[in-house]
């Protein structure tokens, strides 16, 4: 099973601010939905709670929420207390590709298990309070890059980039 991390990040690795995205990139949200559809996704509790209630759990995906809180529950979600448990559950469900969707602490926990990265690299620096882990580029090979220019719906240009672990 492939373990993939999927994230949008700025040049200075910002992925969030005040438990929200500090940008509005509709085509990135569409890319995220299309890429993760039909798969298991694992996210942290704060990330789950930041999703607007009408979109929780994320549709057409098996939602797993990772939390240290033993008694925490979310309707129609699998709650796990370790990243290893999430990986094992996905493997037991014959998942081909598990997507780790954040936040920062969850990415950090999952990084040692990751085989693939789907990064939306935003061509801008923004202020934030949540960061994607530093990436040792010598360990990863870029396998695709698709540029998306700035336009009337997107304040910043960005690239959809896929990396595979060497």
Kindly state the tokens that stand for 156.
């910043």
Cis peptide, bond prior to residue 103, ω within 30 of zero? yes
Give residue-wise pLDDT tens across range 24-59.
Answer: 999 999 999 999 999 999 999 999 999 999 999 999
Closest CA to 13 of 113, 99, 102, 78: 102
Cis peptide, bond prior to residue 59, ω within 30 of zero? no
Residue 42: the pLDDT is 98
CATH number corresponding to 2-131+143-158: 3.40.430.10
Residue 27: the pLDDT is 98
Residue 74: the pLDDT is 94
| pTM for this entry | 0.96
The domains of the chain are located at 2-131+143-158
Residue 73: the pLDDT is 95
Q: What is the mean pLDDT of each run of 10 residues along the chain (166 residues)?
A: 98 95 96 98 96 94 96 96 98 98 97 98 97 95 98 97 98
Beta-sheet pairing, 116-122 with 2-9: parallel
Residue 99: the pLDDT is 98
């Amino acid at each position: 099973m492939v373990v993939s991390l999927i994230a949008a990040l700025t040049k200075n690795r910002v992925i969030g601010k005040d438990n929200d995205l500090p940008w509005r990139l509709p085509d990135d949200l569409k890319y995220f939905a299309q890429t993760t559809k039909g798969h298991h996704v694992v996210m942290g509790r704060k990330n789950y709670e930041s999703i607007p209630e009408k979109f929780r759990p994320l549709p057409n995906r098996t939602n797993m929420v990772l939390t240290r809180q033993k008694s925490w529950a979310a309707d129609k979600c699998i709650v796990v207390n370790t990243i290893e448990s999430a990986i094992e559950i996905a493997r037991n469900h014959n998942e081909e590709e598990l997507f780790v969707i954040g936040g920062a602490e969850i990415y950090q926990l999952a990084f040692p298990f990751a085989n693939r990265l789907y990064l939306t690299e935003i061509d801008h620096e923004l202020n934030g309070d949540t960061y994607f882990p530093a990436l040792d580029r010598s360990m990863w090979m870029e396998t695709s890059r698709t540029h998306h220019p700035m336009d009337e719906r997107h304040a910043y240009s960005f690239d959809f980039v896929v990396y595979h672990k060497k």
